[in-house]
Structure 1
Amino acid sequence: MAILVTGGLGYIGSHTVVELINSGFDVVIVDDLSNSERFILNNIEEITGKKPVFYPFDLKRRELLTQVFEAHKIEGCINFAASKAVGESQIKPVDYYENNLFSLINILQEFKEREISNFIFSSSCTVYGQADTMPIDENTPLKMPESVYGKTKQMGEEILADFAKAYNRKISILRYFNPIGAHPSGKIGELPIGIPNNLVPYVMQTASGVRDKLSIWGDDYPTEDGTAVRDYIYVVDLAKAHVAALKKLIEDQSSEAVIDTYNLGTGKGSSVLEVVKAFENANNVEVPYQICERRDGDITIAYANPAKAEKELGWKSETSLEESLRTVWEWQKYLNSRN
């Protein structure tokens, strides 16, 4: 069975491709390489023993996407293709709406015309904003996200819900919390372009000397140590959730619309300082940091209630924070060896 993975050479996409191949699926990747590197394709082959089919183009080019569907019997899609830098999305809102939504719509047009189902959407816990209660489950009310990036995720969910209902298709929406870590092989991991937007890559680069100091944005939050709290989930655990969600959609024989939504996290919150200390302990390194003023739009605390995913998908996160952070350092050493 051929599964289209858009953005399949990116961080979460590449790990999911590995898990799909290991589960017996044939994978077709479309990735424009705007936030990924071509060498990841070879590393996927080294890890799995199988090289996915790869097309390097922008999904907004509908004519090229049509050619992919004509060349392969696609029976499902996992869509990771999206611009994802929160700060950049505020500066380039039109670019983000165009890239994140037009590419999604082009894929759905192909699904509609070819009567294909089994679509998994890479969403985000940002759709909840600062939730009023913790942990956050799938019934927690959505709030208008602060960022344009978050708005594109919420709009994408709405587009998919309408698509499923109108054409009786099967959709799974996966709301991630904070993915971290790298593959145990050390050959694929998060590869930020320029200055990292996420905490752990910045910690990694600071520990390795690429950055002088880690900036911690605020130590006056109403948390135990004053720093913001998030739910950090190991990327391989997260990738396995996509395979579980895909199998559930494929096994569902109903002819009616299916819209499954799952929060993917560990169920435990960790503060910024806890992550820094866990990284230092896991890898026996030092991470110099400085406390800065809070950033606009940052929420205080967010962590998941992943019970629904465990009940319906038979999935749960199994990797500790320290073990996840150990794999990050192995990935950094691999990158250093390439330079």
Structure 2
Amino acid sequence: MHYLHRVECVKKILTDENTDLFMITDPKNVLYLTGFEGGKLFISQDDEPILIVSALSFEEAEDVAKGVHIQRVPLSESMKNFSLNVLKELRPKSIFYDDLSVSDYLSLEALGFKLRDGSRYISHLRRRKDETEVEYIRRAAELTGELMEILMAHIKPGIRENDLAKEADIFIRERGLEYAFPVIIVSGFKSSYPHGKPSLKTISECEPVTIDLGVKYEGYCVDMTRSFIVGRNPEYETVLEDVTNAQGLALNCVKAGIQCRDVDRVVREFLDSKGYGELFIHSLGHGVGLDIHEPPSLNPLSEDILMENEVVTIEPGIYFKNKFGCRVEDTVLVLKDRCKVLTSDK
């Protein structure tokens, strides 16, 4: 990972914005910049970055953190007080922060520090993935597709949603993996719950099933959804075809330089023309990386513009209350003049 380069990018932000120090406390942002998840990271324009960690985390931080001076909080002192003393030694006049509670903000402000929200700068850095990140996400996508194929092969009338979830757990544990988020397996009327949980419900003949899952690889996430029918259901099959075609329209639009809301609009206009109106109730997609939900957001209000080498999801869905829902989702890599679908199944 290019941790030193990323830190240099943060230092350039400080120089360009005439700010003395960046205080980074979001664990995933610390991970992105150091290789260690947790603690507090102080980056100033000229000095070596300081990573403050608890005694419990000190040994791990020494093993994995790159390009930082690690300071351990003694048992006799709190993380808050220790960090405050470090700040007093550094004597910054102005501070960017990425994630700060109201109480911590007021405490620092009372001591005379000039505070500014700099979270958008770190988010912007994380959006564009380097070669290593893309490879990790590609591998996560392969594993996710493999798991999806296994679950689809197990589906038959009489099996319970939780039985499928158990098969997913076995796959994850046997390979030493992690979920990117809790697996969603819903059937019948429950498929209209976009974030429904697997239950003891039995899947019946001619019922729709939606599976939404993602695997992490080296900390990087993927998001994939498939919807299908056990048997035949002409009404559902028509909806699934329309949702699949809507996704295809979006995939044809995705490329660097296009506004996210324009991609979303193409899908909504198509689904509206098919008579679904307000039944598409969520964003078309979102960024993925170290977090399962990252900028940009593909929705009607988004001001984001897609960038080359960022990774996003495309997930149109239609939901009929108390009847059924249907969603199709893939994770894609944004390229200069097109996108590349990373998730797939046979």
**Same structural fold, with TM-score higher than 0.5 when normalized by the shorter chain:** no
Whichever of the two has the greater Rg, that structure is 2
Q: Considering fraction of residues, name the structure with more strand.
A: 2
Q: Larger relative contact order (C-alpha < 8 A, sep ≥ 6)?
A: 1
TM-score, L = length of structure 1: 0.32
TM-score, L = length of structure 2: 0.32
